[in-house]
């Protein structure tokens, strides 16, 4: 089984395989429209598409990733967008990193696929970093995408929105969205490809 570790991601970024980055994800754009800008943590931020988009809307964003190459590109893109003052880029491996508790108005993570064995633990630590009244937003490939994604075709990496929601401490969270959301992806040949995102959006009480 492939280990999707720092070396694997660095190798991908080194070869320019960053087709998912550079623009905000649909889920982020839709699900943050009703939020008042504050502090945000983008976990597995890659080259910063989501974080920079948030910064452009007034959020103060910390982007975290285990690829230093991706973080360097994110910082350069933020500077080019004149948003360096609203962004901080931090190297960390979320499988071991504990973010500061109750610190962010929004904690978001897009297409960071943690193997099932560590997923709940990572999610619990990310959830703990949300300030009371703040929002946790997770989007990743729905298990129904198993046949379409080009990498990470390991069922162990996939979870439904409901499975993600089940990892949150009961009573502490109001789950607003836990679903499979259809999306049009792109095939290698550039054709539309029906896909779905597993989405979790929850508010900390």
Ligand X SMILES: C[S@@+](CC[C@H](N)C(=O)[O-])C[C@H]1O[C@@H](n2cnc3c(N)ncnc32)[C@H](O)[C@@H]1O
Residue numbers at the binding site for ligand X (CB under 6 A): 9, 20-21, 25, 44-46, 49-50, 65-67, 70, 93-95, 110-112
- Closer to ligand X by CB, 94 or 196: give it: 94
- Closer to ligand X by CB, 60 or 95: give it: 95
- Closer to ligand X by CB, 132 or 177: give it: 177
The answer to whether the beta carbons of residues 115 and 156 sit under 8 Å apart is: yes
Reading the block at residue 89, the tokens are 């880029």
CA distance 59 to 43: 15
- For residue 38, the minimal CB distance to ligand X (Å) is 20
- For residue 170, the minimal CB distance to ligand X (Å) is 26
- Closer to ligand X by CB, 50 or 105: give it: 50
- For residue 199, the minimal CB distance to ligand X (Å) is 13
CA distance 118 to 140: 15
- For residue 112, the minimal CB distance to ligand X (Å) is 5
CA distance 121 to 99: 13
CA distance 73 to 186: 23
Helix, strand or coil for residue 115?
coil
Reading the block at residue 124, the tokens are 């619990």
């Amino acid at each position: 089984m492939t280990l999707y570790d720092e070396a694997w991601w660095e190798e991908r970024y080194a070869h320019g395989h960053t087709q998912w980055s550079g623009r905000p994800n649909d889920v982020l754009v839709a699900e943050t429209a009703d939020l008042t800008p504050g502090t945000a943590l983008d976990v597995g931020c890659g080259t910063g598409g989501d974080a920079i988009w948030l910064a452009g809307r007034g959020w103060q964003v910390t982007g975290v990733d285990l690829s230093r190459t991706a973080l360097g590109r994110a910082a350069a893109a933020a500077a080019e967008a004149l948003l360096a003052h609203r962004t901080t880029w931090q190297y960390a491996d979320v499988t071991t990193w504990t973010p500061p508790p109750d610190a962010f108005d929004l904690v978001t993570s897009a297409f960071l696929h943690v193997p099932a064995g560590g997923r709940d633990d990572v999610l619990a630590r990310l959830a703990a970093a949300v300030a009371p009244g703040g929002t946790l937003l997770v989007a990743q490939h729905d298990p129904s995408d198993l046949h379409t994604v080009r990498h990470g075709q390991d069922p162990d990496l996939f979870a439904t929105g409901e499975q993600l929601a089940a990892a949150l401490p009961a009573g502490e969270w109001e789950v607003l969205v836990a679903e499979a959301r259809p999306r049009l992806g792109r095939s290698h040949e550039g054709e539309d490809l029906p896909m779905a995102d597993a989405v979790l959006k929850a508010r900390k009480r």
